[in-house]
Structure 1
């Protein structure tokens, strides 16, 4: 059963969560508790980002560490420092209309990559929240995007 009360155009009700063990457990805990459990993951604030698969058209949900920039939420497309962008990032490039859950609040948002002017301050903020981002950047030649999620 989906916790979402709203729907973004083109999104069906079925949501596919990661089959990776620890990620699936985190998602399940977050959704089943309506964000009361799982919002803080190892002391870091997390949100659930639901995108539409660019090829499949299916809704895919991912937990991500976040920061804030005014009313917007900020996430990092780090993919653990891999040389490829995470799938969710490719999905938002194709369809930036997403759904976000922060604790019990669920809302439609528009995702965009931070501009070159915005990125340095946002990157530093996110490294302050999750220091491993700095390690991830050293692991790859890929420019790791910072993504801003703005209420739709």
Structure 2
């Protein structure tokens, strides 16, 4: 578990434009650390994080990305904020094209099926995400009206988010 003070500082800095820019640059390093630690260390352990592997909608190749998540019962909830960029992240577009994916959480690989949340379900899940990472609200403003996709990733084959 991360040091609470460091986690709180990180959550406050998440609203800053420079923080999002720096974090985007560090994502490739975070991918490498996540792979080397088999998903045990993602985002330096500062927020609940997973590695998602989707199938590239154009290439057909596996594509991995570290993401913040919140648990929701047996599932994982993620947001396609792309740090507030005008375009959605590629992993979200990949899930829209093919909802089958794999997440790696604390070293466990779990096959999941993505469901794009809408309406009241999206509002509820968005509330969970914003409680964990308040900067998501800032990212929505920066995205200039682009919808931020919220996905509920449900394990297939009996695994759960809480295992």
Taking structure 1 as the reference length, the TM-score comes to 0.81
Give secondary structure in 1 for the equivalent of 2:145.
Answer: coil
Q: Which runs of 5+ in 2 are unaligned?
A: 1-23, 157-163
Give every structure 1 segment of 4 or more consecutive aligned residues whose post-TM-superposition deviation is greater than 3 Å. none
Q: Which residue of 2 aligns with 1:128?
A: 131
Distance 1:42 1:32 in 2: 14
CA distance in 1, matches of 2:57, 2:150: 20
- Correspondent of 1:36 among 33, 37, 40: 40
- 1:22-57 Cα distance to aligned partner (Å, 9 max, x none): 11221222221223322x536211100001111110
Q: What is aligned with 1:79?
A: 82
Question: Is 2:111 the partner of 1:118?
Answer: no
What 5-or-longer segments of structure 1 have no aligned partner?
1-19
Matches within 5 A, 1:47-62: 47-62=50-65
RMSD over aligned Cα, in angstroms?
1.5
Aligned pair partner of 1:99 in 94, 99, 102: 102
The answer to whether the aligner puts 1:150 opposite 2:162 as a matched pair is: no
Higher strand share: 1
Q: CA deviation at 1:115?
A: 2.3
Higher mean alpha-carbon deviation, 139-148 vs 70-79, is at: 139-148
Higher share in helix? 2
Mapped partners of 2:80, 2:148: distance in 1: 6
SS at match of 1:23: helix
TM-score, normalisation: structure 2: 0.76
Q: Does 1:64 align with 2:80?
A: no
